[in-house]
């Protein structure tokens, strides 16, 4: 932190322009000192021989050409990381905060390392194909859409749906199957203060807080910080996964707020908008976040991501979920009708998929009948939904026996398998037991996707 510089020539939105007569680095971090003692941070995003353009992380309100002094740091943005972070709560810049007052704590992180938050891309050749699992304790995920270590599996939700409960439940319940070091990073993006307090409170009560590192960006924090926080969280995740050999699960909520911030900044920069005003580079921006997951050859750690987003107007073709689905390894979609029926978690089964599941489940990790079970549950439920539609055309009376059994199956599936309490943590065995229980509502010969040996062993058990 050396040279100071005074003359701001223009301020437009989050952007500050200076005359360039300083030896600036591209991407360099600047500190803006305002008369009243306040300090803001910015980054050099464009420069030529005349002008330097700086994007200010915090807001530019209150800045003027007169009252501000700019200091160049001679470096790009780096976050401090340390093993002491476990159990702590941090802001978008990686500083420890008090969740109730939002104030930065005086006890700054004693850094083990400092890392550039943009990271470097993982060498595709160095990637290990993910083939082991994480248990969430939720039947619908573990049973039908198993989460795989190294996967990025988003949840598409909507306003007013229980994604906060789901996020908290996953954070507090998730575990790896063998006794390997496991860490959860919770990254709140643009969430309101009450929600943030409630999250941290739940984490503390779970007794699991020592395995959780939380990063919180509040809804009224500056736009630029919203864009930084996922990368701050993921830089931290990379350190623990690939240098400390831990399995790290990162939950990001709500990516919709991140996208809104992107759009806002893009408009300020007068970029050419793509669909619905979102910038054309949103795909690359999302990808640079989501691709920071996976496994690396000769490393034992992993990064798994669950990004959660709210679909504007429940529209899955909206650019935010659409762009996400094009990058992630599947998606979990929440369904408003099931939510109205008070089924929790209200998963839209047919729209959801875990693309990496097929190579990761089975006798070695879960159970030998897992693949058959999940395929049968999904296909029978799909048939049952067709029957429900049929009732509205032909009426219930003209249904065949087979169709009636499908309806009974679907009710049982929704109530006994899907439905679960927000603090109910089910083991894989419990999930499979329930799966067989609801499948036993169907005649044996309708289980065409399950190998006979499994049917012989499990059908009608426990009913």
Partner 1 sequence: MTESNNNNIGFISGINGSLINIKGIETKVRLHDLIKVNKHNIIGEVIQIYSDFVVAQCFENTNNLKLKQKILYLDNPLSMELGPGLLSNVFDGIQRPLEKIFQEDETGFIERGIELPSLSREKKWKFTPLMEVNQIVSGGNVVGKVQETQSITHYIMVPPNINGKITYIVKEGEFAIDEEIYRISNGEVEKSYDMIQKWSTTRSRPFHKRLVPNEPLITGQRVIDLLFPIAKGGTVAVPGGFGTGKTVTQQAIAKWCDADVIVFVSCGERGNEVADVLRQFAELTDPRTNRPLLERIVLIANTSNMPVSARESSIFSGITIAEYYRDMGYHVALQADSTSRWAEALREISGLLEEMPAEGGYPAYLPSRLSSFYERAGIIETIGNDGKKNNNIGSLTVLGSVSPPAGDFSEPVTSNTKRFVQTFWALDAELAYQKHYPAINWLDSYSNYPQYIKNWWKTFNLNWDEINLNWQECRNMMNVILSSENELKNMTQLVGEENLPENQQLDLFTANLMKESILIQNAFDDTDNFTTPTKLLAMIQLILLLYKEGKQLLEEGFIIKDIKDLEIIAKIQRIKNSIPNEDIDEIERIKDKLLNEINSLRRSYRVIR
Ligand X SMILES: Nc1ncnc2c1ncn2[C@@H]1O[C@H](COP(=O)(O)OP(=O)(O)OP(=O)(O)O)[C@@H](O)[C@H]1O
The site for ligand X (CB under 6 A) is made up of 325-326, 355
Contacts 24+ apart (CB under 8 A), 297-301: 297/126, 297/127, 297/128, 299/128, 299/241, 299/242, 299/245, 300/180, 300/245, 301/240, 301/241, 301/242, 301/244, 301/245, 301/246, 301/247, 301/248
**Cα–Cα distances in Å, from 454 out to 141, 170, 300, 436?**
21, 30, 34, 10
* Residue 272 is a binding residue for partner 1 (CB under 8 A): yes
Of the candidates 422, 420, 452, 447, which has an alpha carbon nearest to the alpha carbon of residue 434? 420
User: Cβ of residue 154: shortest distance to ligand X, in angstroms?
Assistant: 12
Of the candidates 375, 367, 379, which has an alpha carbon nearest to the alpha carbon of residue 433? 367
Q: Work out the number of other CB atoms within 10 angstroms of the CB of residue 314.
A: 18
For strands 247-253 and 78-81, give the pairing. unpaired
* Pattern 36-75, partner 1, x by CB under 8 A: ---------xxxxx--------------------------
If the CB atoms of residues 26 and 114 are measured against partner 1, the closer one turns out to be 26
If the CB atoms of residues 85 and 356 are measured against ligand X, the closer one turns out to be 356
Quote the Cα angle for 92-148-231, to 5°.
Answer: 15
User: Can you tell me the distance from the alpha carbon of 6 to that of 15, in angstroms, rounded to the nearest whole number?
Assistant: 16
Of the candidates 147, 64, 71, 100, which has an alpha carbon nearest to the alpha carbon of residue 431? 147
If the CB atoms of residues 284 and 452 are measured against partner 1, the closer one turns out to be 284
* Residue 128 is a binding residue for partner 1 (CB under 8 A): yes
Query: What is the C-alpha radius of gyration for the chain, rounded to an integer number of angstroms?
Result: 25
Of the candidates 196, 251, 258, which has an alpha carbon nearest to the alpha carbon of residue 227? 258
Q: Residue 153, SS3?
A: coil
Q: What does 457 interact with, of partner 1, ligand X, none (CB < 5 to 8 A by kind)?
A: none
* Pattern 181-220, partner 1, x by CB under 8 A: ----------------------------------------
If the CB atoms of residues 272 and 363 are measured against partner 1, the closer one turns out to be 272
* Residue 242 is a binding residue for partner 1 (CB under 8 A): yes
User: Cβ of residue 236: shortest distance to partner 1, in angstroms?
Assistant: 15
Q: Which of 58, 221, 291, 335 binds partner 1 (CB under 8 A)?
A: 291
Stretch that binds partner 1, among 201-209, 291-299, 425-433, 434-442 (CB under 8 A): 291-299
43 with 28: CB under 8 angstroms?
Answer: yes
If the CB atoms of residues 47 and 287 are measured against ligand X, the closer one turns out to be 287
If the CB atoms of residues 229 and 349 are measured against ligand X, the closer one turns out to be 349
- The site for partner 1, by CB under 8 A, has a size of 69
Stretch that binds partner 1, among 78-86, 123-131, 223-231, 424-432 (CB under 8 A): 123-131
Of 424-453, binders to partner 1 (CB under 8 A) are: none
User: Can you tell me the distance from the alpha carbon of 348 to that of 361, in angstroms, rounded to the nearest whole number?
Assistant: 21
Contact residues: partner 1, CB under 8 A: 20, 23-28, 45-49, 76, 116, 118-130, 150-151, 242, 271-275, 280-281, 283-284, 287-288, 291-292, 294, 296-299, 317, 319, 322-323, 325-327, 329-331, 350-351, 353, 355-356, 358, 378-379, 382, 393-394
């Amino acid at each position: 932190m050396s040279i100071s510089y005074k003359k701001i020539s223009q301020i437009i939105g989050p952007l500050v322009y200076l005359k360039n007569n300083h030896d600036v680095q591209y991407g360099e971090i600047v500190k803006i000192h305002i008369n009243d003692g306040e300090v803001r941070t910015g980054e050099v995003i464009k420069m030529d021989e005349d002008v330097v353009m700086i994007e200010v992380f915090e807001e530019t309100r209150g800045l003027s050409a007169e009252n501000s002094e700019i200091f160049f740091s001679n470096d790009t943005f780096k976050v401090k990381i340390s093993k002491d972070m476990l159990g702590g709560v941090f802001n978008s810049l990686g500083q420890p905060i008090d969740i109730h007052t939002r104030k930065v704590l005086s006890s700054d992180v004693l850094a083990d390392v400092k890392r550039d938050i943009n990271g470097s891309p993982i060498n595709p050749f160095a990637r290990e194909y993910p083939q082991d699992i994480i248990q969430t304790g939720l039947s619908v995920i573990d049973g039908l859409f198993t989460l795989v270590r190294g996967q990025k599996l988003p949840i598409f939700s909507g306003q007013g749906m229980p994604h906060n409960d789901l996020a908290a439940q996953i954070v507090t319940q998730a575990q790896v199957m063998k006794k390997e070091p496991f860490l959860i990073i919770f990254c709140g993006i643009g969430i309101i203060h009450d929600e943030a307090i409630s999250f941290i409170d739940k984490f503390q009560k779970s007794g699991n807080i020592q395995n959780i590192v939380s990063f919180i960006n509040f809804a009224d924090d500056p736009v630029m910080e919203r864009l930084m926080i996922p990368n701050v969280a993921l830089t931290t995740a990379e350190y623990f996964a690939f240098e400390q050999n831990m399995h790290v699960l990162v939950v990001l909520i709500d990516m919709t707020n991140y996208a809104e911030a992107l759009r806002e900044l893009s408009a300020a920069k007068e970029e050419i908008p793509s669909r619905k005003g979102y910038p054309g580079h949103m795909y690359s921006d999302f990808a640079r976040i989501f691709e920071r997951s996976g496994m690396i050859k000769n490393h034992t750690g992993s990064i798994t991501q669950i990004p959660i987003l709210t679909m504007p107007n429940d529209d899955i073709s909206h650019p935010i979920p659409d762009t996400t689905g094009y990058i992630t390894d599947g998606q979990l979609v929440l369904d408003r009708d099931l939510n109205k029926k008070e089924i929790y978690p209200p998963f839209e089964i047919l729209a959801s998929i875990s693309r990496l599941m097929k190579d990761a489940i089975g006798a070695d990790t879960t159970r030998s009948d897992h693949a058959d079970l999940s395929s049968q549950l999904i296909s029978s439920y799909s048939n049952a939904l067709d029957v429900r539609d049929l009732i509205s055309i032909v009426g219930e009376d003209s249904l065949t026996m087979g169709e009636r059994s499908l309806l009974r199956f679907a009710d049982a599936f929704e109530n006994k398998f899907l439905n679960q309490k927000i603090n109910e943590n089910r083991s894989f065995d419990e999930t499979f037991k329930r799966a067989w229980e609801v499948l036993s509502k169907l005649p044996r010969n309708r289980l065409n996707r399950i190998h006979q040996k499994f049917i012989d062993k499990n059908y009608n058990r426990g009913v």
